[in-house]
Structure 1
Amino acid sequence: MNKLFALVLAVSGSAASAQTPTTNPMPDGSRDMYAGLGVVSAPRYEGADGSRTRALPVLQVQWSNGVFVSGMSAGMHLSQQPTVEFGPLLNLHPRRTESGTGGKIGEVTAGTSFTPGPVMQRLSSNRLSGMEEIKLRPEVGGFFNVYLAPEWRLTSSVLGGAGNDRNGVRAELGIQRLAFEIAQHHTVSVSAGFTFVNSAYNRAYFGVSPSESASSGHRTYRPDGGLKDMHIGARWNWALSPSWILTSSVQASRLVNDARRSPLVERPNNVTVSTAFAYRF
């Protein structure tokens, strides 16, 4: 089991974290690849009370030149130092529909009942009713990680391009304890971190414009930027064979500050749980 797979399953609700795999030295011209399928239960959107359960594709590939694909993210390791990782990073920020989901095929959603009636009566059933749909957006930025010890890594990334106006920026700071063995064939890794956003990001995902206020019944809300959330997570990997692995994760997050005070937020605390089988090619 190498370090590459420790971050293969990166899911955190509607705004998935753009996590970078660890550097994986390999012969020139080679690649390391994992692919699989599982299931994830996550909030319908950041701050939702209801959850959605859907199929979870798992994909992580790293090439000897440093290029990698990890879930919805892609990037390239440029550092030649073993204790430092940095490079460009691309990510797809998911779409948010009026129902709170991205409208994915095969998705099973809980807590999205809708009762027709006057605008103010709709608030109790779906707080996104009357809100503008947010399109799927590519984010561009970079990452910078530093190893405090072989098993401990400080992580950071900055990505811009989220929201319909493409001017939402978010930065993540965190610490990770890379996979350690708890029993034969069983490893666990843990992480914790913070997410900071600019005002454009908060207004796109937690704000209510005057036109949206008229159509949804919510008060107009114009949040500022700053610390958006705090999160912790754990991942368990079970090596079933040299090629097959069962990987499971849980992540808990809490919205804070202006994001927490949004009229769209039903619940500040959210939990995402996922599990998947993956095969190493």
Structure 2
Amino acid sequence: MKKLLAITLAAACGSAAAQTPAVNRMPDGSRDLYVGLGAVSAPRYDGARERRVSALPVLQLELSNGIFISGMSAGMHLSSAPSVEYGPLLALQLRRSASGSASGIGGVDSASFPGIVAQPPMVYRNAPPRQLEGIDPIGARLQAGAFFNLYLSPRLRLTNNVLVGSGNDKKGATWSVAVQRIAAEPALHHAVSISAGLTVANRAHNDAFFGVAPAEAQRSGYAVYQAAGGIKDVHVGARWNWAMSPSWIVTSGLQASRLVGGAKDSPLLQRPANVTVSTALAFRF
């Protein structure tokens, strides 16, 4: 159970990074598989005021050759050094329509968890808030990139991943970096993890998700806006895992992010700080 550190919510929260589970040293030909189901409460889209509760399927598969599937991402560990993890990474960008972002799949791993921040007063650039009516949908896209993780100590990990291909024109790119304090054990069968980090996005990514084109402005009534690149959000978080048995685990967590820079100045923004809460039950095969 030492590798079972968290069920993450990258697919449920736009600020979270694609997931790269810690390398699991296994005998040749073996595999580790987790399947489960939970619930997640999250904003309808990044920067939205309204929330929704939805089911959260859980899936993680790790093979002895380094290949892994974790939620909505997949990749391969290439490093044999115990203090370094790196390799290629694929992640699915979910569709965003006028009703919000699509629901996704969680994974079981040691990825970053955005955490708790005080909720500021709601900020409306347009009143009343109309969400994304008149804004072009953003289709689902497969993004490609790489990850690089460095262990600063046995329980402190610096994670990095870069993904390209977001947005309808597939020109968006993001870099996510975080520091993780991995799984302290305050009591028998219980583990707590914390993390803090930020996401940097290029102009194409920010403009796809936070910009308003002239045609969209005519349909929606929002002002025309081009979102600049730079730091998109900062995030912190915590995760609590309860290992009920060698095969069953209950995991609960809270993650939060705050939009900054070009994303925060968007007319689409209703609330700069978003919080996602989840709980799930997973079984290890």
Give the structure-1-normalised TM-score: 0.91
Rounded Cα–Cα distance in structure 2 between residues aligned with 1:254 and 1:240: 34
SS of equivalent residue, structure 1 residue 6: coil
Rounded Cα–Cα distance in structure 1 between residues aligned with 2:215 and 2:83: 50
- In structure 1, the gaps of 5 or more residues are 105-121
- What is aligned with 1:24? 24
Show CA shifts across 1:222-256 (max 9, x none).
Answer: 11100000000111100111110001111010000
Shift, 1:101, TM fit: 3.2
- What is aligned with 2:233? 229
Letter paired with 1:10:
L
Root-mean-square deviation (Å):
1.4
How many residue pairs align between the two structures? 263
SS of equivalent residue, structure 1 residue 265: coil
- What is aligned with 2:112? none
SS of equivalent residue, structure 2 residue 99: coil
SS of equivalent residue, structure 2 residue 198: strand
Rounded Cα–Cα distance in structure 1 between residues aligned with 2:278 and 2:263: 25
Shift, 1:52, TM fit: 1.2
Please tell me whether the aligned partners of residues 207 and 223 of structure 1 are also in contact (alpha carbons under 8 angstroms). yes
**Cα gap change, 1:234 to 1:140, in 2 (>3 Å):** same
Give the structure-2-normalised TM-score: 0.89
Rounded Cα–Cα distance in structure 1 between residues aligned with 2:67 and 2:186: 31
SS of equivalent residue, structure 2 residue 211: coil
Percent identity between matched residues is: 56
Please tell me whether the aligned partners of residues 35 and 279 of structure 1 are also in contact (alpha carbons under 8 angstroms). yes
Rounded Cα–Cα distance in structure 2 between residues aligned with 1:10 and 1:263: 26
Rounded Cα–Cα distance in structure 2 between residues aligned with 1:204 and 1:224: 11
Residue 6, structure 1, aligned to residue 10, structure 2? no
Instruction: Tell me which of 263, 270, 273 is aligned to 2:274.
Output: 270
Runs of 4 or more consecutive aligned structure 1 residues displaced over 3 Å after TM superposition: none
Rounded Cα–Cα distance in structure 1 between residues aligned with 2:14 and 2:233: 13
SS of equivalent residue, structure 1 residue 41: strand
Letter paired with 1:150:
P
Rounded Cα–Cα distance in structure 2 between residues aligned with 1:191 and 1:95: 27
SS of equivalent residue, structure 2 residue 215: helix
Q: Which has the higher contact order (CA 8 A, sep 6+)?
A: 2
Letter paired with 1:235:
R
Instruction: Tell me which of 128, 144, 148 is aligned to 1:144.
Output: 148
